[in-house]
Structure 1
Amino acid sequence: MTSPTLFTQEFWNDPHPVYAALRQEAPVHPVTLPNGMEIWLVTRYTDCKAALADPRLSKRQGAGDNARTLASPVRSPLTHHLLAADPPDHTRLRKLVSKVFTARRVEELRPRIGELSAALIEPLRGKDGADLIEEYAVHLPIQVICELLGVPIEDQADFRHWTSVMVSASAGGPGVPEAAAAFVGYLLGLIERKRATPSGDLLSALIATRDEGDRLSEDELTSMAFLLLLAGHETTVNLIGNGMYTLMTLPDAHRRLREDPSLIPAAVEEFLRLESPVETATSRTAMEPVTYGGVTIPAGAMVAVSLLSADRDAERFPSPGEFDLNRPDNQHLAFGFGVHYCLGAPLARLEAQIAFTDLLAAFPNIRLAVPPADVMWRPGTLIRGTVALPVLLQ
């Protein structure tokens, strides 16, 4: 199976048959990404889980690869964050923000997230149809992460555009250098304003925080703000969108959730497993030869772990293509595994649970406005989500 089979619009719209064929053929495949990068793609659950926790695969060495086309003044402020670090640097950086994302602290946000969700739903009540991505799913996680970080909500359209361009199919593609430069300039200005006038938000706290007497470097600070803004909304936008798309194609599941909202937490886990908003984990570099499923990846090679493929592996999940609200032991890899397990997982779960609860309560007959096959999915090896999600509300 060749790389072009992987990266076409037909593939983006439905990658699951291709991943199934790859899993059957071999556990690891050398492929060429749309930007020309040569990587080794891990596709089976057991091997993906092992690779995600393998200290021989360096995130720090892999971090700059997607950004090699960027000029150094732009690249450096974007590549010194959690996902681009190995222990002990990773441990230090994660400690600085982890207390904000504990299950207890996140649960305290429930009333405010509920208020934001209700405010977004209200203008939809009188409409017959909507694009659920642009009129709801985008705004809920953006507003939450903006409030947490202390980012002006009126700036959301700008950084939504920049991040969308930067996670597109080709990391060196059109518009990426310009989007990255604009984002860095914005973050540097925001940090300076926060430094001059601090408040009670996370970004002000990171600026002021000392870790064992040593402040974050400027690149670490900018990179952390970049990661929290990007990961804090891109993934949850698509968790909500992918989940609602899935639900609207499954009338029985739709009815069960509408009649029994207590099933929604279990549904969120199945949405995450079936259509993970993160298709492939950010790349790693093999610091020595590593072997998965009998296939040896050479030292120095770039490694990508397909979360989407792993979570449809029939060796781990019986009837993997089915939506099962009673699925036992649903230990999907949508949030990763090991030291890089998603810090924001509790927040993403809470936002999604509130979103599905509120949308189904407000619009019990919500359905797709187009045939499922007409819904277009975003090109890209990192994020999986629909370009738009046209729905009928009444």
Structure 2
Amino acid sequence: MKHRSAGPLGPLPAFLGQYVAAEGHVPDGIDVVPFFTPAGDKMWLVCDYALARRVLTDKRFSRAEAVTAHAPKLNDAQPVPNSMMSMDGAEHSRLRRVVTKAFTTGRATAMAPAIERLADRHLDAMAASGPGTDLIEGLAAPLPLAVLCSLLGVPPEDGTRFRDWVEVLFDISASTPQEKARRRLELIDYMADLIDTKRRRPEDDLLTSMIGAHEQGELSMGELLTMGLTLLMAGYETVVGQLGLSVHALLSDPAGYADLRDRPEELAPTVEELLRLTPSTPISFPRVAVEPVPLGSVTVQAGEGVIVSLLHGNRDGRTFTEPEGLDPQGHDAAHLTFGHGVHRCLGAPLARLQVRIVLERLVGRFPTLRLASGPEAVVWKDGLGTRGLSRLLVEW
């Protein structure tokens, strides 16, 4: 399977979509361009792979400054100041150390048998109800939800309670500020109650471990609450999106799906290509320059905001020889889907594992899987900072 299409990109945030051609291609030669955010502030959008890596590692571009009151805003749903994603330097490292051990490649690998059992259970239900189903509702949404509940220690019966809440962190225009505020409060109340329950009845899970870190003075109560919410939300919506996008990309080219079935040795590199070409997170969180910084064709002044287009960086023809084609032979450069530098996504090994298991199980159990016909078969989510599908009807 070489140089195949990754399928349509679907809706993108307006400020990002204006730099993507109608047929889904990203233009060559764009490095740094100005744009106005949905909040009405001017920022810089970085579309060049090499410059993106610079921004994501250069200490002159601060995440902490980006969440201050005076900073330019992408929208009103950015992480709070005491979130690990909103900190720089030693403060960021302090919080990251508390949860790093739970997200290593080895820890993710140890979870593989349990994830395989979960996937098989959902595929059994698909097979029993077939020969067609909504793959989002039947697999892509419940699988990462169950994985997160197991990792954090969320009671399975509580899992569906926050499915309508988790888009808050990534919401750009899908709901009103009042609705977002209400949902945030509900999430906070839920996490506070869960922490109190775990404190009284500790178990072998990540949330109990974080409570122990709080009791030893490594986390404040506010940081504990925020970290629990961040892991719960970020680890769900992005993986749901990535699973749906990956399957959709493969099924958009039936020959590609057949090739993967016939060449199982190409599964791992194909997963990396799908992550590169169709990331569920198309942009980074904003950063703010703390001093003037020359960046490509512009100079970013102190106080100005910068966002990296991970989507453009992943398809940069100056870095990737087949920038917009799925090539399981791979590339020399690493994709930016999980970020780069100290803020690189902690959950990358777990997300990658779930995509691999889902694709492996699908091609094994449903060799004739295909997209259902009709315009209602594929419904894209819109108004979010993440990309994804709300419906993916398939047949076999």
Amino acid across the alignment from 1:115: R
* Identical-pair percentage: 36
CA distance in 2 between counterparts of 1:317 and 1:129 reads 37
Contact 1:11 1:18 in 2 (8 A): no
2:119 partner SS: helix
CA distance in 1 between counterparts of 2:274 and 2:374 reads 20
Contact 1:62 1:283 in 2 (8 A): yes
* C-alpha deviation, 1:59, in angstroms: 1.0
Q: Does 1:145 align with 2:148?
A: yes
The equivalent residue for 1:193 is: 197
Amino acid across the alignment from 1:222: L
CA distance in 2 between counterparts of 1:325 and 1:40 reads 33
- Runs of 4 or more, structure 1, over 4 Å off, are 5-12, 14-19, 64-70, 371-374
The equivalent residue for 2:26 is: 20
CA distance in 2 between counterparts of 1:36 and 1:148 reads 39
The equivalent residue for 2:8 is: none
2:33 partner SS: strand
Taking a change above 3 Å as real, the CA distance of residues 309 and 87 of structure 1, as seen in their structure-2 partners, is: same
Amino acid across the alignment from 1:97: V
* C-alpha deviation, 1:210, in angstroms: 5.7
The equivalent residue for 1:389 is: 392
- 238, 241, 260: which is aligned to 1:238? 241
- State the TM-score, normalized to the length of structure 1: 0.89
Contact 1:246 1:271 in 2 (8 A): yes
The equivalent residue for 1:104 is: 106
Amino acid across the alignment from 1:34: P
The equivalent residue for 1:135 is: 138
- 30, 48, 60: which is aligned to 2:34? 30
- 32, 44, 47: which is aligned to 2:48? 44
- 1:6-53 Cα offsets, whole Å, 9 max, x none, are 7459949x77767724x53x4112212223343211111111111111
- State the TM-score, normalized to the length of structure 2: 0.88
Summarize the alignment of residues 220-239 of structure 1 with structure 2, pairs less than 5 Å apart: 220-239=223-242
Q: Does 1:156 align with 2:162?
A: no
CA distance in 1 between counterparts of 2:175 and 2:112 reads 39
CA RMSD between the two structures: 2.7
Taking a change above 3 Å as real, the CA distance of residues 28 and 308 of structure 1, as seen in their structure-2 partners, is: same
CA distance in 2 between counterparts of 1:214 and 1:154 reads 31
2:391 partner SS: coil
Q: List alignment gaps of at least 5 residues for structure 1.
A: none
The equivalent residue for 1:346 is: 349
- 1:327-360 Cα offsets, whole Å, 9 max, x none, are 2324111111111111111111111111111111
Summarize the alignment of residues 321-336 of structure 1 with structure 2, pairs less than 5 Å apart: 321-336=324-339
- 242, 258, 261: which is aligned to 2:261? 258
2:202 partner SS: coil
* C-alpha deviation, 1:275, in angstroms: 0.5
Taking a change above 3 Å as real, the CA distance of residues 69 and 232 of structure 1, as seen in their structure-2 partners, is: closer
The equivalent residue for 1:289 is: 292
Contact 1:281 1:382 in 2 (8 A): no
